[in-house]
């Protein structure tokens, strides 16, 4: 008999309060509020990891196994390796939390034909640990590997999935190479890096900014983002990059990159980096006299970037691949916010994306039928090439370029308001 585990996730560290100002997505809070919520996140992480060790499960904080009720019907087990610690922890905690939010809401439905169990393991943003987690999860009998975060970690998880014949679903910031048709077991909820790059490059061109440079972290994600921007320039018949520079992952050691890119005098710099590297580069580039535009892939994370930059975030542009988490006129966001109201979480883009990913997987299970097996589930996923999840369209088998994907570019004002 399976168990539906009821998970309690304390409020996530997403700095800010929502704004009611027309035309504004949301407004961040004060620096004091940020400090309190950063402390809350540290406490949350300690609680999550501490309970995981005590329970011998390496997952989220479980209220009590004794309180868990038997699941009704079949149990579908999802296995997720995600950074609860390490360089991308704030993104990982939010993405994992959003997925768990949907799973908990689904499992409480009356007469549900099946139940979901989501096993979540911390990989610290380390691809070797992500690979080890993937192997452990497959050995434990999960039905799907779900929601790995980071390019290298996703590549590592996908390799294990391929070796074991396991479905690999909804990776966050995976390399575009995983979108090749030969990866028949890999399904993507978010747009490709190429889609984001195309949107940012087109925006620059519209503004007459043709001298574009790239700042990238020296890892698989940075190299993939650089390649995507280079490809986008070629597709749009624009001049090639005037320069590019690499920096260590999520580090403030950016002086060399600043010096190199200032020499080529770019009008816009597209950054494919996590929030610490991004913030350090923006701050030092401006001190060096740079007055051009900063564009960012969605992987940067708006909330941790604001925490790092404060008022210096003014004018920074970030690509977003899901609707605004406060756009209640969009049905999927309205559903998500209703679930948030019954939890300790705070709305964020990454949390909403996790929720959407989990809900999309549930739809695939529904389409596969009551007595589905791996082959029929994979077939159902492959058929979802234009799924409307509630005002937001998803193509699980999109190639590198998909024109139906909705990508927004949002600008952040000095006082922290995010505006489309």
Do 15 and 127 reside in the same domain of the chain? yes
CA-closest candidate to residue 323, choices 398, 420, 416: 420
Do 175 and 288 reside in the same domain of the chain? no
Global pTM? 0.85
Do 296 and 156 reside in the same domain of the chain? no
CA-closest candidate to residue 230, choices 214, 217, 219, 254: 214
Do 114 and 55 reside in the same domain of the chain? yes
Does residue 348 carry a pLDDT above 60? yes
Cα-based distances in Å from 205 to 85, 285, 411: 38, 22, 17
CB 219 within 8 A of CB 151: yes
CA-closest candidate to residue 275, choices 86, 148, 19, 95: 86
Lowest mean pLDDT among 15-19, 273-277, 305-309: 15-19
Residue 336 lies in a domain: yes
How many domains is the chain partitioned into structurally?
Answer: 2
Does residue 19 carry a pLDDT above 90? no
Does residue 5 carry a pLDDT above 90? no
pLDDT tens digit string along 41-61?
Answer: 454 354 345 433 333 333 333
pLDDT tens digit string along 222-268?
Answer: 999 999 999 999 999 999 999 999 999 999 999 999 999 999 999 99
pLDDT tens digit string along 136-194?
Answer: 999 999 999 999 999 999 999 999 999 999 999 999 999 999 999 999 999 999 999 99
Do 203 and 302 reside in the same domain of the chain? yes
Q: In which band, very low, low, confident or very high, does the pLDDT at 101 lie, cut at 50, 70 and 90?
A: very high
- Alpha-carbon span 212 to 119, nearest angstrom: 42
Q: What CATH number should be reported for the domain holding residue 356?
A: 3.40.50.2300
Which residue range is the domain that position 49 belongs to? 3-191+325-394
Do 142 and 122 reside in the same domain of the chain? yes
pLDDT at 401: 62
């Amino acid at each position: 008999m399976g168990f539906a585990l009821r998970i309690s996730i304390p409020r996530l560290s997403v700095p800010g309060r929502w704004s009611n100002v027309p035309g504004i997505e949301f407004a961040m809070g004060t620096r004091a509020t940020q400090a309190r919520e950063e402390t809350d996140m540290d406490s949350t992480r300690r609680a999550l990891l501490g309970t995981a060790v005590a329970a011998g499960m390496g997952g989220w904080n479980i209220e009590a196994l004794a309180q868990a009720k038997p699941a009704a019907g079949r149990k579908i087990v999802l296995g997720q390796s995600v950074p609860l610690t390490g360089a991308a922890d704030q993104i990982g905690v939010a993405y994992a939390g959003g997925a768990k939010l949907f799973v908990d809401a689904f499992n409480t439905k009356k007469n549900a034909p099946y139940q979901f169990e989501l096993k979540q393991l911390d990989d610290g943003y380390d691809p070797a640990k992500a690979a080890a987690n993937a192997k452990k999860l497959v050995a434990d009998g999960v039905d799907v590997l779900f929601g790995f975060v980071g390019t290298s970690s996703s590549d590592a998880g996908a390799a294990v999935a391929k070796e074991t014949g396991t479905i690999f679903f909804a990776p966050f910031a995976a390399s575009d190479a995983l979108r090749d048709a030969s990866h028949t077991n890999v399904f993507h909820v978010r747009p490709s890096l190429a889609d984001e790059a195309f949107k940012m490059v087109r925006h620059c061109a519209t503004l007459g900014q043709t001298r574009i440079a790239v700042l990238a972290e020296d890892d698989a994600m940075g190299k993939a983002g650089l390649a995507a921007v280079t490809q986008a320039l070629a597709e749009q018949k624009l001049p090639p990059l005037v320069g590019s520079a690499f920096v260590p992952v999520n580090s403030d050691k950016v002086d060399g990159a600043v010096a190199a890119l200032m020499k080529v005098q770019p009008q816009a710099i597209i950054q494919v980096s996590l929030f610490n590297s991004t913030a350090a580069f923006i701050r030092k580039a401006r001190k060096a006299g740079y007055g051009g535009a900063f564009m960012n892939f969605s992987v940067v994370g708006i909330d941790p970037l604001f925490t790092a930059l404060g008022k210096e975030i003014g004018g920074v542009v970030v690509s977003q691949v899901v609707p605004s988490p406060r756009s209640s006129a969009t049905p999927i966001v309205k559903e998500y916010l209703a679930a948030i109201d019954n939890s300790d979480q705070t709305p964020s883009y990454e949390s909403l994306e996790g929720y959407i990913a989990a809900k999309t997987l549930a739809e695939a299970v529904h389409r596969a039928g009551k007595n589905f097996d791996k082959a029929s589930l994979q077939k159902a996923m492959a058929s979802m090439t234009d799924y409307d999840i509630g005002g937001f369209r998803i193509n699980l088998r999109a190639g590198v370029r998909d024109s139906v994907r909705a990508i927004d570019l949002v600008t952040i004002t000095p006082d922290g308001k995010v505006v489309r």
